[in-house]
Amino acid sequence: MNAIAQQFKDQATRMTRDLHHRELIQTALGKYAVKRDEKIALFQDWQGARQRASEIKWNAVNHLDEYLVEFTKKLEARGTVVHWAGTAAQARGIITGIVKEKKARLVIKSKSMTSEEIHLNEALEKEGVEVVESDLGEFIVQLRHEAPYHIVFPAMHLTRGDISELFSRELKSAPTDSPEELTIIARRVLRQKYVKADVGITGANFAIAETGMISITENEGNARLTAALPRVMITLIGLEKVLPKLEDLALFLPMLATVGAAQAISGYNTLYGGPRQEGEADGPEEFHVVLLDNQRVAFLADAEQRDALHCIRCGACLNVCPVYRNVGGHAYGTTYCGPIGAVITPHLRGLKDWKHLSYASSLCGACTEGCPVKINLHHHLLQTRRNSGSENPVWWQKIAFKLFAPVANVRFFWAMATRLGRVGQRFHPLVKGTRLDPARAWTKTRETPKLAPQSFKEWWRQRK
Amino acid sequence: MKISLFIPCFIDLCFPKVGISMVRILEKLGHEVECPEAPACCGQPAFNTGYWDESRDTAIKVIEQYKDAEVVVIASGSCGAMMNVFYPELFAQTRHAEAAKAMAAKCFEFSSFLVNRLGVSDLGARFPARVTFHDGCHGLRELKIKREPRVLMEKVKGLELVEMDAAEVCCGFGGTFSAKFPMISTAMGEVKCDSALKTDAEYIVSNDSSCLMHIQGLLDRRGSKLKTIHLAEILAQS
C-alpha cells in the first residue's frame, strides 16, 4: 500500500471511531435527504429531468471543441480576456500574474472547488497577497487552515459551538449560539474586505456557450459582491462546465439546487457576460476568464468513464454515500472527495497513487442512483479497479484468484476445500483476534459465520 | 418447469438452509429442480477486486454449466447481479459475449423469480414474528428488486413487517471491501444495526445472505438478541 493510500486508511479508520462525527453527519445528511426528496417531488418527472440533463451534458462534453470556441468568442466580443490553462501550474501562473500586474494586496474569493484543485490560495499567499474566502463555510474552514470538508457544505463537520469558539479565538468576537449572530460576525469582517479588495476571484457553476456568459448560483450574495466591487474580476472554470444554450439553465439551476442543497432554487442566480460596458454604472473594469484543462481533455479519451465530466459538483453522491458519511470529507486527502472524487481523482492525479479510493467502496450504487446527471459512478469504480488490476496487479492477490478458480470449478476440489475449511474452523479459536489470525480484518469487530456441519451440496448429494 | 438453481459458495458452506428452503419451495410449487455441483462461485470476488481474467476463469464454467438451462434461479441478489448485469460486461468483446448475454437473460434472483416469473405471492407460509427488511444493494440497485420480497412477506401469516429507517442504505459488507477497509465496513454495519434495532424487530430479513452474514457478525459481537434470517427460510416455514 502506498503512502497516500495508507494515509487515507489511517484517517478513515480514525474517523469511523469518532462517534460524535458520525452522529453529526448522519443527522445532517438524514435531514438533507428528507428535504431533497420534497424538492425532487416538485419536478413533474425527475427521472426524465435526469435523462435530459445527462443528454445535454453528453452533447456538451462530446463537442467541447465547438462550444468552448463559441463561448470564448462571445466573451471576448464584450471585452473579456479569456486565458487557456493546460495545467494547474499554468492556471496559477496566469492568475498570480494578473494579481501581481495590478499590484493587488488583497484578493476576495467566492466559492470555487476548481481553485482548491489548483491550490490557488497558497500560490497567491506565497506572492504576499492576502486571500479571503467570502463564502461563509469557506471563510470558516479558511480560518481553521483546513480544506473544505464537502464540495457544497465546506464546514458541515462543525457545530455552532465550534464556529463560535473559532470566531472568538480568531476574530475576538463574543461567544454566541445563534447562527444569525455568527453570520453577522463573519459579515462584518467580510464587508470590509470586499471594499478593500483589488481583485475578486470567483468560480463558476456553468459556462454558457450560446451567450458567452458565466453562471454562478449561490445563497449568500457573496459571489455578487466578489464580482461587483473589486476593479478586476477573475473567474476560474474547468472547461467541462460548458453548457450549449442559455435555456439549459432552466433545467440545471433548479436541479443543482434540488440535489445540492435541497432547495427549489438557490437564493442568487447571476449571469456574468463581461466587464463594465460603456454607460454601465457598475461591474469590474477588467474581467478575466481562466479555462482550466488539468487532465480533463485527456479524460475525454476514456470512452468508458468520460461521462464523469458531466459532473455539476452538486455533492449529491457524497451526501448519499455511506462511506463518505462515515469517514468524512477530509479523510480522502484530495480536493474532490466521495464517489465522484474516487472516480475522477485517478484521472486527474494518477491511477497508481489514487486507485485505493475505488476499493474503498462497497459498490452499493447509492451514488449512481443519486447523481442528477446519471454518471455511472459505482460501475466506474469497478472499471478503475480493473484498470488497476491489469496495470499494477498485486501478485499475491492475482495468484490467489488464479488458484481459487479450479477449486470453485471442480467438484472434487470444492468438496475437499469444504472439509479442510471445517478443520481450519476447529483450530481458528486458538488464533482468533491475534496477529496469526488469517481472518483478523474480519474478526476484530465481527464474529465469523460458522461452516455448516452439512453443506448444501453435501445435502444435495445425499438426497440424490 | 425445470429450474436450475445456482447456490453461491457462502450459502453452500455457511447457510445451506437457505438453499434447502429454496429447493423445497420450488418443488412444492410443482417444479423440477436441478443443481449442478460445480462451479461453486460466480466469479464476483475476483471481478470486484479488479482481476477480470481470473474472474472469467470461474464465470466461463458457470456459463457452460448452465448453457442448456431453461431458467437459472440464484440464491443471492449479489451473485444474481453478477450474472445478470456484469457477465455481459465481463465477456464483452470476447468469444463468450453472446453466451454471457444469453445467460444474463435467463437469470433470476429467487424472490424476483417467484413474483415476476412464476406470478406467485402466497406460499402458505407462517412465521409469527416482528421483522424488518434489509434491501441488499445489488438486488435493489442492479436488479431493481424492492417490491418482490415485500409482496411475498405480506402473505406470510403472523409476520409483521416494520420498515427501518434507511432500509436502502448499504450494510457495509461489500465483499473484499469488508476485509480491505474493515473499519469503514464496520462503521457502516453499525449504522445499519442501529436503525434495525430501533424497530424492535426480532429478525432482520433479507434476500441476500452475504449482507446478513455481515450484520449477524456485528450483532453477535455486540451480544444482541436480534437475529438475521433469509427470506427463503421464512417462506419455507409452515
Contacts with B13 from chain A: Cβ below 8 Å: 418, 421, 451-452, 455
| pLDDT recorded at residue B13 | 96
What is the per-residue pLDDT across B70-82, written as a single tens digit (0 to 9) for each?
A: 999 999 999 999 9
First to last CA, chain B: 23
CA nearest to B86 within chain A: A379
The ipTM value here is: 0.96
Paired residues of B33 in beta bridges = B3
- Fold match, B2-116 / B120-235: yes
Task: Work out the angle between the directed axes of helices A136-143 and A160-171 (0-180°, nearest 10).
Answer: 60
How many domains in chain A? 2
Cross-chain Cβ contact B13/A452 below 8 Å: yes
For cell 478575466, what's the residue?
Answer: A288
Topology of B2-116 in CATH? Rossmann fold (3.40.50)
Q: Is the pLDDT of residue A1 over 80?
A: no
Q: In which band, very low, low, confident or very high, does the pLDDT at A419 lie, cut at 50, 70 and 90? A: very high
Mean pLDDT of A327-335: 97
| Gap between the Cα atoms of A252 and A311, Å rounded | 11
Q: Which of B11, B14, B221 to mutate to test the interface with A (most CBs of A within 10 A)?
A: B14
CATH number at A240 reads: 3.40.50.10420
Residue A213, all three cell numbers: 456568459
Contacts with A450 from chain B: Cβ below 8 Å: 14
| Gap between the Cα atoms of B200 and B188, Å rounded | 20
Domain map (residue ranges) of chain B: 2-116, 120-235
What is the per-residue pLDDT across B177-188, written as a single tens digit (0 to 9) for each?
A: 999 999 999 999
A412 and A282 within one domain: no
What is the per-residue pLDDT across B103-120, written as a single tens digit (0 to 9) for each?
A: 999 999 999 999 999 999
Q: Is A366 in contact with A325 (CB distance < 8 Å)?
A: no
Contacts with A9 from chain B: Cβ below 8 Å: 181
Cross-chain Cβ contact B177/A360 below 8 Å: yes
User: Looking at A268, A294, A320, which one is the last position of a domain?
Assistant: A294
Distances (CA, A) of A232 to A12, A102, A352: 41, 8, 40
Q: Is B206 in contact with B235 (CB distance < 8 Å)?
A: no
Cross-chain Cβ contact B213/A449 below 8 Å: yes
For cell 429507517, what's the residue?
Answer: B165
Phi, psi (deg, nearest 5) at residue A268: -125, 125
Output the CA torsion A448→B210→B227→A433 (10° steps).
20
What is the per-residue pLDDT across B142-174, written as a single tens digit (0 to 9) for each?
A: 999 999 999 999 999 999 999 999 899 999 999
> Which of A360, A389, A461 lies at the smallest CB-CB distance from B181?
A360
| pLDDT recorded at residue B238 | 83
Q: Is A231 in contact with A287 (CB distance < 8 Å)?
A: no
| Residues B161-195 as b or e (16 or more Cβ within 10 Å = b) | beebebbbbbbbbbbbbbebbbbbbbbbbbbbbeb
Nearest chain A CA: its distance from B119 CA (Å): 27
Rounded CA Rg of chain B: 17
| pLDDT recorded at residue A282 | 85
User: Looking at A257, A273, A294, which one is the last position of a domain?
Assistant: A294
Cross-chain Cβ contact A390/B52 below 8 Å: yes
Cross-chain Cβ contact B35/A460 below 8 Å: yes
Contacts with A360 from chain B: Cβ below 8 Å: 177, 180-181, 184
Distances (CA, A) of A23 to A31, A33, A265: 12, 15, 28
What percent of chain A has a predicted confidence (pLDDT) above 70? 100
Nearest chain B CA: its distance from A51 CA (Å): 17
Residue A312, all three cell numbers: 455539476
Mean pLDDT of A320-336: 97
Question: Residue A444 gets which letter from DSSP?
Answer: T
Q: Pick from B62, B149, B80: which is nearest to B114 by CA?
A: B149
> What would the DSSP string read from start to end of A71-137?
HHHHHHHTTPEEEEESSHHHHHHHHHHHHHHTT-SEEEE---HHHHHTTHHHHHHHTT-EEEE-SHH
Contacts with B88 from chain A: Cβ below 8 Å: none
Distances (CA, A) of A79 to A181, A275, A285, A453, B223: 41, 7, 10, 80, 70
CB pairs under 8 A between A and B: 202
Contacts with A386 from chain B: Cβ below 8 Å: 50, 52
| Gap between the Cα atoms of B212 and B8, Å rounded | 14
In a domain, A307, yes or no: no
What percent of chain A has a predicted confidence (pLDDT) above 90? 98
Cross-chain Cβ contact A446/B220 below 8 Å: yes
CA nearest to B168 within chain A: A366
| pLDDT recorded at residue A389 | 95
Instruction: Please determine, looking at this structure, whether the domain spanning B120-235 carries the CATH number 3.40.50.2000.
Output: no
Contacts with B49 from chain A: Cβ below 8 Å: 359, 385, 389, 397, 401
Q: Which of A13, A37, A351, A401 to mutate to test the interface with B (most CBs of B within 10 A)?
A: A401
In a domain, A411, yes or no: yes
User: Looking at A238, A262, A294, which one is the last position of a domain?
Assistant: A294
Residue B237, all three cell numbers: 416455514
A51 and A193 within one domain: yes
Residue A452 lies in domain: 405-463
What is the per-residue pLDDT across A113-166, written as a single tens digit (0 to 9) for each?
A: 999 999 999 999 999 999 999 999 999 999 999 999 999 999 999 999 999 999
Distances (CA, A) of A127 to A111, A115, A204, A408: 21, 16, 24, 62
> What would the DSSP string read from start to end of A182-209?
HHHHHHHHHHHHHHH-SEEEE--SEEET
> Which of A16, A418, A444 lies at the smallest CB-CB distance from B184?
A16
Residue B64 parent element (H or E): helix B52-65
Residue B30, all three cell numbers: 410443482
Nearest chain A CA: its distance from B58 CA (Å): 5
| Gap between the Cα atoms of A340 and A329, Å rounded | 12
Q: Is the pLDDT of residue B207 over 90?
A: yes
Q: In which band, very low, low, confident or very high, does the pLDDT at A24 lie, cut at 50, 70 and 90? A: very high
**Does a cis peptide bond (omega within 30 degrees of 0) precede residue B88?**
no
Question: Residue A173 gets which letter from DSSP?
Answer: P
Cross-chain Cβ contact A326/B191 below 8 Å: yes
In a domain, A5, yes or no: no
| pLDDT recorded at residue B38 | 85
What is the per-residue pLDDT across A32-63, written as a single tens digit (0 to 9) for each?
A: 999 999 999 999 999 999 999 999 999 999 99
In a domain, A379, yes or no: no
Rounded CA Rg of chain A: 26
What is the CB neighbour count within 10 angstroms for residue B95? 7
In a domain, A365, yes or no: no
According to DSSP, the β-strands at A106-109 and A199-202 are: parallel
What is the per-residue pLDDT across A375-393, written as a single tens digit (0 to 9) for each?
A: 999 999 999 999 999 999 9
Contacts with B47 from chain A: Cβ below 8 Å: 382
